[in-house]
Structure 1
């Protein structure tokens, strides 16, 4: 049994980290193509994990192409079943096309598409995160379709953490009419949408929301056997 440390002590985490120059450069190379534009290993990705928060208010400031490339490159560094890399990303920056996307969203429970998330159109870009289920299923059969969705979720997290590290903000939007968006963007049947990612510069002040204590969500060798006392 393990005694839980104060997992919210971000400063303590930072002070306890040890530098490793060679490992630092290897980590940077894994995440982005242009190492010089990334923050040092001490600034990424650990702080981004604890600082990331969903934001829904954006300025009109565009995202530099090289910064957008960093986001997408980081997403593609996620692990995947058999290294099949099923993720695909559609970058939407045309105002009219963003409005089409908005009309295929909804918020709240059982809103049936009538409560659009208008704020999405204010983001510099809306990235439609997709999963090419055929790619993974070709190797693993029907079960591969589900694994492909999980793999793409890992890619989305990479993208959102990188956005945070670069001073951008975003939100993972799952309240969508998938079929309507697929028709609008001419997405083939074998590609699923895992979510919308509005990304941009935010004017919203928001702090990370609280999380359940570790002892509520961890188990030791068997379910319902506490790992932390």
Structure 2
């Protein structure tokens, strides 16, 4: 027993080697810290700067000039701003290698490929680095962040508390659609197991929609 525990601890220690102290604590700790702990005045100033940069589309060059325009004000550097906001959000993007010509993403059946199966472009450069990457923000942490905001959490209950379905088949929202209304009478199935509750029976349930832009199925891509 002791030998097994020792081996497990050794493996865990090896898997954490090279990680910072914050990374070793795990993203769950980071998220609970950012949501539950009171923000310091410094963090509030950092977030205000980030909001200004985002809303006004400030360039990095403009951001770096702010301390000279407003001496004494707390204006973090661009690198610190990005790092601190990422930490406070508790959301970590996942990077996926992509074809530099946007043909495919190297995941699923393409995960082990070294060349694009469509245009044959190499996946990596001469240094072994991916030539192009897609930054994916995981869905679950984003939904958790929405629920942590009172205004957004209230808006997310529109389906249950803010929308009234009319019996005359008038469609004023996606929730009036036949596809959605039919789901309300269907029990949720996970794999082959049927659960006791129906779809969207809880007002906190989230209805997810998927929207895509057009794509060209033929060589001449002026039609979608």
Shorter-chain TM-score bucket reads under 0.3
| TM superposition score normalised by structure 2 | 0.27
Greater CA radius of gyration, 1 or 2? 2
Instruction: Provide TM-score, normalisation by structure 1.
Output: 0.26
Q: RCO (CA 8 Å, sep 6+): is it higher in 1 or 2?
A: 1
